[in-house]
Amino acid sequence: MVRYERLLADRAELFRASEVRELLKLTEGRKIISLAGGLPDPHVFPKEELAEIAKEVILEHGDKALQYSPTAGVTEFREELRKFMISKGVKVNDDDSIMVTTGSQQALDLLSRTFIQKYDEVIVELPTYLAALNAFRLSRPGFTGIPIDENGMRTDILEEEVKRLIWLGRKIKFIYTIPVAHNPSGVTMSIDRKKHLLEIASKYDLVIVEDDPYSFFVYDENVDVTPLKTLDKEGRVIYLSTFSKILAPGLRIGWVIGNKYVIDVMERAKQTADLHSSTLTQYIAMEAIRRGVVNKTIEKAKKLYRVKRDAMMQALEEYMVEGAWWPRPVGGLFVMVFLPSYDIDTKKLLREALNAGVAYVPGSSFFANGTGWNTMRLNFSYPSPDEIREGVRILSDIIKKHLKGKPQKTIKPEHIYQA
């Protein structure tokens, strides 16, 4: 047997499977209520329309659609994306460029490889999207976490942290944020915070990465989801989005918009990764935009997920232990629950929950500073409303047992930062 481990690069250490993922694997094939993943409800997938489009694309445009294509993406598709973005209120500047990526996960990886060196500093929300942390981690930066509250990133704390990092002589590469329907917490950044964030970026000459998979389907009325990209007047925002939630994740099509200079460098990085994203699914996605299938899917998803979000909110109100805190997500797929005791470790609770038939993701992996062990991320897009109710009821019973009826004090996200 070859001992491959002696040949692996140091960075392979960072590809370790997480213990949570290993535990969740145990649920495969078992009947379990999963509040864990981030899967869209398959009822939302426009199967008939996509089948028709795929057939046409292959039979009528197969010479191009089955061929290699440019690294930055199929030219016509990039133009369609530009129009789509403008129709959704995302500003695309004359000196911007759009590049197609293999899901927005690839954009996160390309950003990591393009910008970050060992000991650089990346600023993230506390908590933030785990797979972004993992992608950035490969380039070995330091992370500075900024707490959130109901209105998104605490920009007052951000400014203090930026000043501190500059004083320490650290090189801040970018601020990574998910302003709308944040994964994992479910909060949305207020317009005042967005403006403040841009002011800080301008004052200290910083770049912002805006990751935006969710702003297209917000369930409540009168929510201002103006992107940072649109408010930005100085070309400081690199904007990412994806078809994963508004069409189908299996297509693996995302995109990144930013200043031409940056996108050109990222394009060269992409060339070494995969030459280009699937030509075929780019053609399919392009036709889906043109025929209104994307907008129809968004409307369908909004209706369905609003009901599920409401089921989640009701179940939490009804069953969750006293003192627990959670925000009310205006959109997206997730809510994070903050349990009212630092003595509870949701990673340890997971096995018991799985035995009782419910899965969730323990929150601590989303916190770059290793805190958040009293938190859990719950998904409401995949399970049915009945499963959501039942899942939350079972979880609450387990948590109650662990709290042993002791009176507890609410722990909000900003308290975790101070802990």
Ligand X SMILES: Cc1ncc(COP(=O)(O)O)c(C=O)c1O
Q: Decide: 242 and 103 in contact? Cβ < 8 Å.
A: yes
β-bridge partners, 218: 331
Q: What is the DSSP string of 318-382?
A: HHSPTT-B----SBSSEEEEE-S-TT--HHHHHHHHHHTTEE-EEGGGG-TTS--TTEEEEE-SS
Q: Closest separation between CB of residue 184 and ligand X, Å?
A: 8
x/- letters, 224..263, toward ligand X (CB under 6 A): ------------------x-x----x----x---------
DSSP helix/strand/coil, 293: helix
What distance in Å separates the CA atoms of residue 184 and residue 237, rounded to the nearest whole number?
22
DSSP helix/strand/coil, 29: coil
Count of chain residues binding ligand X (CB under 6 A): 13
Report CA Rg, the chain: 21
Closer Cβ to ligand X, 110 or 416, answer by number: 110
Place of tokens 């018991």: 352
Q: Closest separation between CB of residue 178 and ligand X, Å?
A: 5
What distance in Å separates the CA atoms of residue 376 and residue 363, rounded to the nearest whole number?
4
- b/e per residue 85-106 (b: at least 16 CB within 10 A): beebebbbeeebbbbbbbbbbb
What distance in Å separates the CA atoms of residue 210 and residue 225, rounded to the nearest whole number?
12
Where does 228-278 show beta strands of DSSP type E?
A: 237-242, 254-259
Closer Cβ to ligand X, 207 or 251, answer by number: 251
Determine, following the binding rule CB under 6 A, whether residue 129 of this chain makes contact with ligand X: yes
**Residues with Cβ within 8 Å of residue 408, at least 6 apart in sequence:** 321, 322, 323, 340, 341
Q: Closest separation between CB of residue 405 and ligand X, Å?
A: 36
Determine, following the binding rule CB under 6 A, whether residue 213 of this chain makes contact with ligand X: yes
Closer Cβ to ligand X, 78 or 389, answer by number: 78
Query: Site for ligand X (CB under 6 A): which residue of 178, 218, 315, 395?
Result: 178
Q: Closest separation between CB of residue 254 and ligand X, Å?
A: 4
Q: How many CA atoms lie within 13 A of 178 on its CB side?
A: 25
DSSP 8-state class, residue 218: B
Closer Cβ to ligand X, 73 or 103, answer by number: 103
Q: Decide: 259 and 99 in contact? Cβ < 8 Å.
A: no
Query: Site for ligand X (CB under 6 A): which residue of 40, 103, 145, 329?
Result: 103
Please confirm whether the linkage preceding 40 is cis (ω < 30° from 0): no
Cα angle value 129/133/138 (rounded, 5°): 155
Q: Closest separation between CB of residue 160 and ligand X, Å?
A: 25
What distance in Å separates the CA atoms of residue 63 and residue 283, rounded to the nearest whole number?
12
Closest residue by beta carbon to ligand X: 103
Closer Cβ to ligand X, 34 or 183, answer by number: 183
Determine, following the binding rule CB under 6 A, whether residue 188 of this chain makes contact with ligand X: no
Determine, following the binding rule CB under 6 A, whether residue 329 of this chain makes contact with ligand X: no
Q: Closest separation between CB of residue 253 and ligand X, Å?
A: 8
Q: Which residues, 4 to 63, sit near ligand X by CB under 6 A?
A: 38
User: Which range in 14-22, 102-110, 167-175, 192-200 contacts ligand X by CB under 6 A?
Assistant: 102-110
Q: Closest separation between CB of residue 95 and ligand X, Å?
A: 25
User: Which range in 101-109, 119-127, 347-355, 375-383 contacts ligand X by CB under 6 A?
Assistant: 101-109
Determine, following the binding rule CB under 6 A, whether residue 215 of this chain makes contact with ligand X: no
Q: Closest separation between CB of residue 281 and ligand X, Å?
A: 12
Q: Closest separation between CB of residue 179 and ligand X, Å?
A: 10
Determine, following the binding rule CB under 6 A, whether residue 183 of this chain makes contact with ligand X: yes
Q: Closest separation between CB of residue 100 and ligand X, Å?
A: 11
Closer Cβ to ligand X, 40 or 340, answer by number: 40
Query: Site for ligand X (CB under 6 A): which residue of 161, 211, 232, 387?
Result: 211
What distance in Å separates the CA atoms of residue 202 and residue 211, rounded to the nearest whole number?
19
Q: What residue ranges bind ligand X (CB under 6 A)?
A: 38, 103-105, 129, 178, 183, 211, 213, 242, 244, 249, 254
